[in-house]
Structure 1
Amino acid sequence: MSSSWAPPLPPSSVISGSGSPLSSFTSAYGVLFRIPGARRFMLTAYLARFGAAMMGVSIIAMLSTRRGSYGLAGAISSVGLVGMALAGPSIGRLIDRHGQRRVALPLGLVSVGALGILLVATRLDAPVWLLVLANLGNAVMPQVGTLVRARWAHLLGGDPRSLHAANSFEQVAEESCFMLGPALGGALATLVFPEAGLLVALVLYAVGVVGLTLQTSTEPPIHEVHEHHAGRAWRAPGLLLLAVTLALTGAIFGSMDIVTLAFAEAHDAKSFGGVALGMFAGGSLVGSLVYGALPITGAIARRLRWGTAAMFVLLLPVLLVDHVWTFALVALVAGGSIAPTLITSTMLAQRLVPPSQINEGMTIVMTGLLLGVSAGSFAGGSAVETLDASRAFLVPCGAALVAFVLALVGGGRVARAERRALSLWGSPAA
C-alpha cells in the first residue's frame, strides 16, 4: 500500500453533527471500503474468524459424541483455551518483530495441522493424551481480530474517526461470527457426522488466514524498537486495566449465555432461550454499528467510564423481569450497551502501546476477553446450580458493576497513559 494514500475526509455536515443519520452512517463506513486492498483483507479475515468461531462448539460436539462424555470434551477443549491465553502475547510479540506473513502464516498452518490430527485421532479412538496434545494447536493459533485491527491501525492511524469506525466494524464482524459460527458447527456435527463441524472450520480458517497474511500491501510495517519502547507490552501504563475490563465484559457474555438458557427453561420456554441469546447478541451487533457511526472526537479514555456506566445501568433490568418476552427486549437493549466498552477498550489498546508492540498489546486485551468468557460461563453455571435462574443474573450484573468501578477508579490513570502515549509516539500508525 502506498504511504501517500490518505483516507478521504467525511463531509463537513457529518463532522459538525448535522445531516441525516443515514448520511453519517454511510460516511463513517464508506471510507473503509474505499481503501485500496481493504475489501480483500476484510473478506479473508472474516472467513478465518468464522472458522475460528466454529471450532469450540465443533470440538466439544465431536468429542462428546465419539467419547460419550461432555466432561472429557470440556476438559480437553479448555486445555486449548489455556494454551492460547499463555502463548498469545508471545505470538503477538513475534508478529510485531517479524511481520504477519512470516509469523502468523506458518503458525496458522501449524495450528490447522494440529487440530487436523485431533480430528483424525478422535475418529480413530486414539488415547486421551494424544487428543490433549493435538488440541494444544489452539495455543499457537494467531488471533485474526488482532491481525486485522493492526492493519486498520496502520492504515487509519492518522484519522481517528475512521479508525473508530473500523474498530466498530470489526466488532460487528466478530459478533456475527460468534452468532452464526457455533450454530453451524453444532449443526454439522449433529446432522452430518461428528467431525464435520471441525473439518469445515479448519478449511475456512486455513483459507482465510492464508489469504489474509499473503496480502502484504496492507500489512503493517515492522517498526524499529526504540529504547523507550523496549520491554513487554503488558508493562504499558493502563494496558492491564483494559485487559481486566475486557475480562469482566467477557464474563458478562459467558454468564449471560448460561443463565439465559436456564431462565428460559425455568419459565417452561426452553426453546426460547436461543431466541433471547440472539436478541442479546443482536443488540451488541447493532450497538457496534451505531456507535461506530457516531462522530466522536477527543480523548478516548474518558469514554471508558461512560461506556461501563451504560453497561451496568442497562443490564440491571434483567434482575427485575419475570417473563421471557420481556426479558428478550431487555436483553436487546443490554446487548447494545456493551458495544461502547468493547470498542473503546480496543482503541485504547491500539493507542497505549508503541507501533512496535501493537499486536502484542491487542493480543493481551483480547486474551482477557476470552478468559473472561470462560470464567463467566463457569460462574454463571455455578450460580444457576446454587441460587436460581433469576438471581443468577447477579453474575453478569456484578461483573458490569466491577468494570464500572474499575473504570471510575482507574480512568484517570488511563487518561494520563493516553496523553503520555500520544506525546511519545502519536497515533497508532506513527
Structure 2
Amino acid sequence: MQLRTPSYVDVLRTPHATRTFGAALVGRLCYGITPLSLMLALTGSGRSYAVAGGAEALFAAGATLLAPLRARLIDRHGLRRALLPMALVFALLLAMLGATTWWHGVSVALIIGVAGAAGSCAPPLGPTMRALWNELIPESPDLLRRAFSLDTVAEEVLFLAGPLLAGLVATVAVPSAGLLLSATLVACGTTALVTSPVVRSATHNAKERGEAGRVGRAIVQPVLAALGIGLCLGTVSLLMVAFARFHHQGAAVAWCSAALSAGSALGGLAYGAVNWKLSSRKQLPILVAGPAIGIGLAGLSPNLVVLALMALCTGVCISPGLSAAYLVANQSAAPQARVRAGTWVNTAVNAGNTTGAATIGFAISNLPLHTSFALAAAPALVLAGAAFLFVRGKEKTIVQEDSSVARA
C-alpha cells in the first residue's frame, strides 16, 4: 500500500501549527511595514533624505549585525524569558520612533539614536518560528520540508504586502502611524506566539537538553548559499530599474519585479510539494546557481517583455534556495542552537542583499548594461561552486561531527 504524500494542508492541520504560525506571521509583518513607514514619516515631517537614510541605515545595521547575539540569548534563556521582553522593548522603541518623527522639535541625533536602538532589539521571529517547526513536526522530514517552504513563501508575501500597507496607512492617516502599527503587530504577534502550547513543550525540552549548544561547521554551506541568493536579490532590482530606464519605460519595472516575486512564490510552493531524490544539502549549489545564471542571461534580453519572462524564471529558484538553506542550517545545528542557525542564514541573506545593491550601482554607472548583468551573476556562481565543493569534499565528515554535536 502506497503512503499518501503529505501536503501543505497537513502542515496546517498539525496540532497548534495554525495558531503558532499565524502569530509569528502577525509579528513578522512589522518588518515589511517599518522601513517604508520610517522613510515616509521622516521625509513627510520635513526631515532631509540624508536624515531618513541615516536612520534607515542605523536601524538595518542594528537589526542585522546584532541578530546572532539576540538569537543566542533566545537559545540560552528561552522564548518567554528572552524573546518576549525583546519584542516588547522593540515595540516600545518603534512607538517612540513614531512619536519623535511626528514631533518637529525633536533633534536629529535623538531620532537616529532611537532608530539604531530599535534595530538592535529587533526580535528574530523568522528563525524562531523555523526552530518551532521542529517541535510541531518532529518525526516527518517530508512534512517539515513543506513547512519550511510554506514559511519562506509566506514571509515573501509579507515583505510584498508590508510596503503596500505602509503606503495605505500613510495615505489615510499620518506616515508615523505605520510605525505605531508595526509596534502593535510585533507586540501582539510575539505575545500570542510565546503563549502557544508548543512553546511550553519547547521550553520543557530545552531544559532537559541543558545549555545552548554550538552551531557546527556544517552551517557554513547554507550560509554561503544564502549569501549568494542575497547577492542576486540585491543586484537584480537595481539592474531591472536600469534596464527599464535604458528602454525609456521606467514604470514597466514594476511588472518585472512582480514577475520575479511570482516566480519565487510559485517555485517555493512547487519545491515543497515535490519529493526530491537529492538531499537539501546537495540541492543548494543548484538552487544558488539557478538565479545567478538567470540574471546573467537576462542582460541579453532585447526588450522588457523578455526581461519580465527572464525575471519569472530567475525567481523560480530563489524561494526554494532560501527554504533549503534554512532547512539545512536547522538540521545541522544542535537542538539548543537552532534559532542561531536560522539567524546566521537570515543575516547572510541580508548582508548579500545590502552588498549587492551597494556594489552593482558602480558597475551600472561605468560599464555596459549587459556586462553589469554578467558581473552581478559572477559572485553568486562562485558561491554556488563553493557550496558544491563543500558537499563533495566534506559532507560526510561534517555530518558525522554535527551528529555528535546534536547528541551532546
Counterpart of 1:158 in structure 2 is: 139
Q: Does 2:197 match 1:197?
A: no
Q: Does 2:25 match 1:46?
A: yes
Which letter does structure 2 place at the counterpart of 1:385? S
- Among candidates 26, 35, 53, match of residue 74 of structure 1: 53
- Among candidates 390, 398, 402, match of residue 378 of structure 2: 398
C-alpha contact 2:297 2:374 (8 A) present in aligned 1: no
C-alpha contact 1:349 1:362 (8 A) present in aligned 2: yes
Q: Does 2:158 match 1:177?
A: yes
Could you list the per-position Cα deviations for residues 194-230 of structure 1 after superposition, in whole angstroms to 9, with x for gaps in the alignment? 2132222222222212211221434523525979x87
Counterpart of 2:124 in structure 1 is: 143
Number of residues of Structure 1 aligned to a counterpart in Structure 2: 403
Could you list the per-position Cα deviations for residues 74-133 of structure 1 after superposition, in whole angstroms to 9, with x for gaps in the alignment? 221111221122321121111112211221111101011112111111111311211122
Q: Quick one: structure 1 residues 320 and 188, their matched pair in 2 at CA, closer, same or farther if it must change by over 3 Å?
A: same
Which letter does structure 2 place at the counterpart of 1:208? G
- Among candidates 2, 7, 12, match of residue 2 of structure 2: 12
Q: Does 2:76 match 1:97?
A: yes
CA RMSD of aligned residues (A): 2.4
Q: Does 2:167 match 1:186?
A: yes
Counterpart of 1:347 in structure 2 is: 327
- Among candidates 342, 345, 351, match of residue 365 of structure 1: 345
What CA distance in whole angstroms lies between the structure 1 residues aligned with 2:372 and 2:357?
Answer: 11
- Among candidates 113, 134, 152, match of residue 92 of structure 2: 113
Could you list the per-position Cα deviations for residues 292-330 of structure 1 after superposition, in whole angstroms to 9, with x for gaps in the alignment? 011135643212222223333333321210211111111
What CA distance in whole angstroms lies between the structure 2 residues aligned with 1:417 and 1:268?
Answer: 52
Task: Give the secondary-structure state (helix, strand or coil) at the position aligned to 1:158.
Answer: coil
Counterpart of 2:397 in structure 1 is: 416
Counterpart of 1:244 in structure 2 is: 224
What CA distance in whole angstroms lies between the structure 2 residues aligned with 1:123 and 1:408?
Answer: 51
Q: Quick one: structure 1 residues 384 and 313, their matched pair in 2 at CA, closer, same or farther if it must change by over 3 Å?
A: closer
What CA distance in whole angstroms lies between the structure 2 residues aligned with 1:191 and 1:403?
Answer: 45
C-alpha contact 2:79 2:199 (8 A) present in aligned 1: no
C-alpha contact 1:105 1:210 (8 A) present in aligned 2: yes
C-alpha contact 1:225 1:356 (8 A) present in aligned 2: no
C-alpha contact 2:66 2:120 (8 A) present in aligned 1: yes
Q: Does 2:207 match 1:217?
A: no
Structure 1 unaligned runs (5+)? 1-10, 16-26
Counterpart of 1:289 in structure 2 is: 269
Q: Quick one: structure 1 residues 269 and 187, their matched pair in 2 at CA, closer, same or farther if it must change by over 3 Å?
A: farther
Deviation at 1:231, TM superposition (A): 6.4
Which letter does structure 1 place at the counterpart of 2:261? A
Deviation at 1:162, TM superposition (A): 0.7
C-alpha contact 1:351 1:421 (8 A) present in aligned 2: no
C-alpha contact 1:248 1:372 (8 A) present in aligned 2: yes
Q: Quick one: structure 1 residues 225 and 409, their matched pair in 2 at CA, closer, same or farther if it must change by over 3 Å?
A: farther
Deviation at 1:142, TM superposition (A): 1.1
- Among candidates 123, 132, 135, match of residue 102 of structure 2: 123
Counterpart of 1:64 in structure 2 is: 43
More displaced stretch, 261-270 vs 381-390: 381-390
C-alpha contact 2:284 2:324 (8 A) present in aligned 1: yes
- Among candidates 357, 360, 363, match of residue 380 of structure 1: 360
What CA distance in whole angstroms lies between the structure 1 residues aligned with 2:282 and 2:31?
Answer: 33
Q: Quick one: structure 1 residues 195 and 394, their matched pair in 2 at CA, closer, same or farther if it must change by over 3 Å?
A: farther
C-alpha contact 1:249 1:372 (8 A) present in aligned 2: yes
Could you list the per-position Cα deviations for residues 390-429 of structure 1 after superposition, in whole angstroms to 9, with x for gaps in the alignment? 4432354123212212212222334532343245537xxx
What CA distance in whole angstroms lies between the structure 1 residues aligned with 2:173 and 2:396?
Answer: 52
Which letter does structure 2 place at the counterpart of 1:223? A
What CA distance in whole angstroms lies between the structure 2 residues aligned with 1:323 and 1:316?
Answer: 15
Task: Give the secondary-structure state (helix, strand or coil) at the position aligned to 1:141.
Answer: coil
Structure 2 unaligned runs (5+)? none
Identical amino acids, percent of aligned pairs: 27
Deviation at 1:354, TM superposition (A): 0.3
- Among candidates 189, 195, 201, match of residue 208 of structure 1: 189
1:195-344 to 2 correspondences below 5 Å: 195-218=176-199, 220-221=202-203, 222-223=205-206, 232-233=214-215, 236-296=216-276, 299-344=279-324
Deviation at 1:256, TM superposition (A): 1.5
What CA distance in whole angstroms lies between the structure 1 residues aligned with 2:12 and 2:180?
Answer: 31
TM-score, normalised relative to structure 1? 0.87
TM-score, normalised relative to structure 2? 0.91
Q: Quick one: structure 1 residues 253 and 12, their matched pair in 2 at CA, closer, same or farther if it must change by over 3 Å?
A: same
Counterpart of 1:35 in structure 2 is: 14
What CA distance in whole angstroms lies between the structure 1 residues aligned with 2:222 and 2:258?
Answer: 27
What CA distance in whole angstroms lies between the structure 2 residues aligned with 1:88 and 1:414?
Answer: 27
